[in-house]
With several copies, the nearest count.
Chain A
Amino acid sequence: MSLDTVSIAQSTPDNVQPFAELGLKPDEYARIKEILGRRPTSSELAMYSVMWSEHCSYKSSKVHLKQFGDKAPKSDALLVGIGENAGVVDVGQGYAVTFKIESHNHPSFIEPYQGAATGVGGIVRDILTMGARPIAVMNPLRFGPADAADTRRVLPGIVAGVGGYGNCLGLPNIGGEVVFDETYIGNPLVNALCVGVMKHGDIKLAKAAGAGNLVVLYGAKTGGDGIGGVSVLASETFGSGGSTKRPSVQVGDPFVEKVLIECSLEIFAEDLVVGIQDLGGAGLSCATSELASGGSGGMQVALDKVPLRDPSLSPEEILMSESQERMCAIVEPSKIGRFLEICKKWDVTVTVIGEVTDGDRLEITWNGEVIVNVPPRTVAHEGPVYNRPMAQPAYIDEVNSQKVNVPMPNSAAEIKAAVLKLAGAPNLADKSWVTAQYDKYVQGNTIQAQPDDSGMVRLDETTNLGVAISTDANANWSYLNPYQGAKLALAEAARNIATAGARPLAVTNCLNFGSPEDPGVMWQFAESVRGLADGCLEMGLPVTGGNVSFYNQTGSVAILPTPVIGVLGVIQDVRTRTPMSFTSAGLELYLLGQTQEDLAGSEWAFLHGQRVGQSPTADLAREMRLIELLLEGNAFFNAAHDLSQGGLSAGLTEMVLRHNVGAVISLSNPAVDLLSETPGRVIVAIESNKTSQLQALATKYSIEISKLGTTGGDSLTINESIISLSELREVHTSTFPRLFG
């Protein structure tokens, strides 16, 4: 294939170009021509097509995501907001924390191990790019039914891939979710969150400033990985192949990434970069155009200098390659010597590929010939924006008008059976089979990890400052009412942090949905964003970033709307945290919050094949009072555990099994008390002489409390039902090994 240069493009305006195959619509192609005043070269077409894909341009979601900015609460903590690789918040003592969640759904369906592994790798680079040392990861995962063949194919590989990559990087895995539902067959969700820490002064941005500064590519060599992966894998057409010799999957090399992290941190420590960007989706197209666009706009790159793993790659392919473990830095000429030295120390491949210019064009050459000459902003930040049609889907009224109709346990035997059924249900069963494949100890700062309500890591060994993070989604509620569902997930994530004694500070989110071209899905999406934005405003928590994953559907069946919300909080002294369970007998157990009959969207209803009714309505003012109560009560709570999926039944099961200390519980209306999933509830354990203190807090924050029972013994006793801990444990822990070996 001959080289398509800018001058050839000028002289052959009528050449037919495969824009449709690259995923561009005719009007998008026309706009490119209008921007350039000529037809694009094939390299320019490659860049625009990949950067204007849904995945990179957010063209369907942008108009909605704007609300996160428009409705943003005033927050002094926010140091870097949406728009950079990841948001940054001030956590005090001079520390800044950055965190973000991203999806790697389609790639993980195609190649579970590598898809999940490179998902972890990608989000870690986003965090690193901000100038931070990555300190922990979390992985919310969703699969088809636990016994489905597709699940048996993808789950072990995904779990091994998450572990394989994260463990090798030395990042403790401190939490996540494992949820099963029919709609995720063929659409597993692999979301990956990373959190990193730095000092305020160390924040780095993706900006190419200063004419004459050098553009430096470092890390792995470029191969044909995932060419078209962004536009193809992350769009509705995935599955239809491109060139057979170009792999559609990216393969990760965690060792190279680990070295890249250490090398980069050493480079940052010596303040050797002006701007920096990781190479993720859309590879060099994205990195060069975003860096240039973030600066004054001018940049010149000699693409032939890019070190290749596969010498047969064409310039278009090099621009689109998604080879992993690469970074692009802007370096002042006076500092390049030291930069190269550090790379040499770490044995990292490094090449100067261009320089910042004082023009406003991104110009890319191939052996001296100009193959790209574009205004970078039009590639990176001014892509198409769609206001897609949306309409409340018909199912909403239908399911909302129905009532959950499931058998409710009555007798002692039925109650016991219900508790055991929930304890062993795949969505609620012990997840050690998964989490034991993740290193949670590395770095020596992990205070809480699975199965705690939230992950918690220490930032400072002397002051014991720490952060806690929880990710949550309740897709059942989101299905019944996407607006409420998003708010409820936000509330749950915040509560999960507060139970441990950490104050919620900031939010990230990963919005997993079906096709935006389906007006019903678009409505679910818009309602979810509206709910989250409203919720964050009410709770005073800024959204610092996130990710949107569309086209998670099989045929016309979309996944449940699954907005995964991550909340980060701060705890001044990790030694004071409240653990999720008790270690001794004789403590009193109280329920904070009142139980209503909320069976719609509950696990009990799900286990009976029902997803109907009205989701609960989030009362965020009350949630905030509950959070304040928890933070104050942290001083004397022996344990606190959030109630969510599986209600009180699941909450008690998790608490008694944690340290093998039983409990005696008495309930006036056991069926509803155990199975309802009314939001905003927490179990706390206190010494009996602290009752009046708890009472006072309850009054102060007007939260209803009721006594559940007492800790102790070797069984979970609920009224007349006696469930021995060994039986409960057997049921709770055998599900995953039975299913996955």
Chain B
Amino acid sequence: MAKIVVDVMLKPEILDPQGNAVASALPRLGFSFAKSVRQGKRFEIEVEGEPTADQLAQVEKAAEVLLSNPVIENFVVRVEK
């Protein structure tokens, strides 16, 4: 079944203490791959049936007013199979 996913990330210019904490923990554990880590939120929204254009528009709106804080965060809405 399809679900609508909203990814919410701090804007790039905003300090991300959590991402930083992860980024500095990785090398201590021997992982060297990361140049930087940002941590955000992922919302998985289950809808009845296949997501419709109208639902997606509603989700966009909800992402803007509820799921994200536009002062410090950006979001992306998409459908995931």
Q: Which residues of A contact B (CB under 8 A)?
A: 110-111, 114, 220, 223-225, 245-247, 249-256, 309-310, 323-324, 347
B17 engages A255 (CB within 8 Å): yes
> Which of A110, A245, A253, A256 is the one whose CB lies under 8 Å from B13?
A245
CA distance A114 to B17 in the complex (A): 12
B71 engages A253 (CB within 8 Å): no
With A251-B14, A323-B15 known as contacts, the answer to whether A111 contacts B21 (CB < 8 A) is no
Give the shortest distance, in Å, between B26 (CB) and chain A (any CB): 14
A251 engages B71 (CB within 8 Å): no
Is residue B72 within 8 Å, beta carbon to beta carbon, of the partner chain? yes
CA distance A252 to B69 in the complex (A): 16
Interface of B is mostly: loop
In chain B between 3 and 62, which residues have their CB closer than 8 angstroms to a CB of chain A? 10-11, 13-17, 20-21, 24
Q: How many A-B contacts are there with CB distance less than 8 Å?
A: 39
B14 engages A255 (CB within 8 Å): no
Q: 9 new A-B pairs (CB below 8 Å) besides A246-B13, A310-B13?
A: A111-B71, A220-B15, A224-B13, A249-B14, A251-B10, A251-B16, A254-B17, A256-B17, A323-B15
Give the shortest distance, in Å, between A571 (CB) and chain B (any CB): 38
CA distance A247 to B10 in the complex (A): 11
Give the shortest distance, in Å, between B80 (CB) and chain A (any CB): 22
16 contacts between A and B (CB under 8 A): A111-B69, A225-B15, A246-B13, A247-B14, A247-B72, A249-B72, A251-B16, A251-B17, A251-B72, A253-B15, A253-B20, A254-B17, A255-B21, A323-B15, A324-B15, A347-B24
B71 surroundings in chain A (CB, below 8 A): 110-111, 249
A251 surroundings in chain B (CB, below 8 A): 10, 14-17, 72
> Which of B11, B21, B24, B72 is the one whose CB lies under 8 Å from A114?
B72
CA distance A245 to B74 in the complex (A): 13
Whose C-beta in chain A lies nearest to the C-beta of B20? A253
Q: Which residues of B contact A (CB under 8 A)?
A: 10-11, 13-17, 20-21, 24, 69, 71-72
B72 surroundings in chain A (CB, below 8 A): 111, 114, 247, 249, 251
B21 surroundings in chain A (CB, below 8 A): 255
Give the shortest distance, in Å, between B18 (CB) and chain A (any CB): 9
CA distance A223 to B10 in the complex (A): 14
B15 engages A309 (CB within 8 Å): yes
Give the shortest distance, in Å, between A349 (CB) and chain B (any CB): 11
CA distance A311 to B11 in the complex (A): 16
Give the shortest distance, in Å, between B28 (CB) and chain A (any CB): 10
A224 surroundings in chain B (CB, below 8 A): 13
CA distance A368 to B11 in the complex (A): 33
Interface of A is mostly: loop
A246 surroundings in chain B (CB, below 8 A): 13
B13 engages A247 (CB within 8 Å): yes
Whose C-beta in chain A lies nearest to the C-beta of B11? A247
B13 surroundings in chain A (CB, below 8 A): 223-224, 245-247, 310
Give the shortest distance, in Å, between A345 (CB) and chain B (any CB): 15
Whose C-beta in chain B lies nearest to the C-beta of A250? B15
A252 surroundings in chain B (CB, below 8 A): 17
A223 engages B17 (CB within 8 Å): no
Give the shortest distance, in Å, between B7 (CB) and chain A (any CB): 19
Closest 4 CB pairs of A and B: A253-B17, A251-B15, A111-B71, A247-B13
Give the shortest distance, in Å, between A256 (CB) and chain B (any CB): 7
Whose C-beta in chain B lies nearest to the C-beta of A256? B17
CA distance A323 to B13 in the complex (A): 12
CA distance A220 to B72 in the complex (A): 19
CA distance A250 to B14 in the complex (A): 8
Give the shortest distance, in Å, between A260 (CB) and chain B (any CB): 13
A114 surroundings in chain B (CB, below 8 A): 72
CA distance A110 to B70 in the complex (A): 11
B20 surroundings in chain A (CB, below 8 A): 253
> Which of A110, A111, A223 is the one whose CB lies under 8 Å from B15?
A223
Give the shortest distance, in Å, between A355 (CB) and chain B (any CB): 29
CA distance A114 to B11 in the complex (A): 14
CA distance A225 to B24 in the complex (A): 21
Whose C-beta in chain B lies nearest to the C-beta of A254? B17
Whose C-beta in chain B lies nearest to the C-beta of A115? B71
Give the shortest distance, in Å, between A221 (CB) and chain B (any CB): 9
B69 surroundings in chain A (CB, below 8 A): 111
CA distance A255 to B20 in the complex (A): 11
Whose C-beta in chain B lies nearest to the C-beta of A114? B72
Give the shortest distance, in Å, between A622 (CB) and chain B (any CB): 49
Whose C-beta in chain A lies nearest to the C-beta of B10? A251
Which of B13, B24, B71, B72 has the most A CB atoms < 10 Å from its CB?
A: B13
CA distance A254 to B16 in the complex (A): 12
CA distance A114 to B20 in the complex (A): 17
Give the shortest distance, in Å, between B21 (CB) and chain A (any CB): 7
Give the shortest distance, in Å, between A154 (CB) and chain B (any CB): 12
CA distance A111 to B69 in the complex (A): 9
A223 surroundings in chain B (CB, below 8 A): 13, 15
CA distance A310 to B24 in the complex (A): 17
B15 surroundings in chain A (CB, below 8 A): 220, 223, 225, 250-251, 253, 309, 323-324
A254 surroundings in chain B (CB, below 8 A): 17
CA distance A535 to B67 in the complex (A): 50
Give the shortest distance, in Å, between B36 (CB) and chain A (any CB): 10
CA distance A254 to B20 in the complex (A): 13
CA distance A347 to B15 in the complex (A): 18
B16 surroundings in chain A (CB, below 8 A): 251
B17 surroundings in chain A (CB, below 8 A): 251-256
CA distance A253 to B20 in the complex (A): 10
Give the shortest distance, in Å, between A310 (CB) and chain B (any CB): 6
CA distance A249 to B69 in the complex (A): 12
CA distance A347 to B20 in the complex (A): 13
Give the shortest distance, in Å, between A520 (CB) and chain B (any CB): 32
Give the shortest distance, in Å, between A686 (CB) and chain B (any CB): 48
A256 surroundings in chain B (CB, below 8 A): 17
A253 surroundings in chain B (CB, below 8 A): 15, 17, 20
B24 surroundings in chain A (CB, below 8 A): 347
CA distance A737 to B61 in the complex (A): 28
CA distance A437 to B14 in the complex (A): 25
A255 surroundings in chain B (CB, below 8 A): 17, 21
CA distance A220 to B16 in the complex (A): 12
CA distance A307 to B48 in the complex (A): 21
CA distance A111 to B70 in the complex (A): 10
CA distance A347 to B71 in the complex (A): 30
CA distance A111 to B71 in the complex (A): 7
Whose C-beta in chain B lies nearest to the C-beta of A223? B15
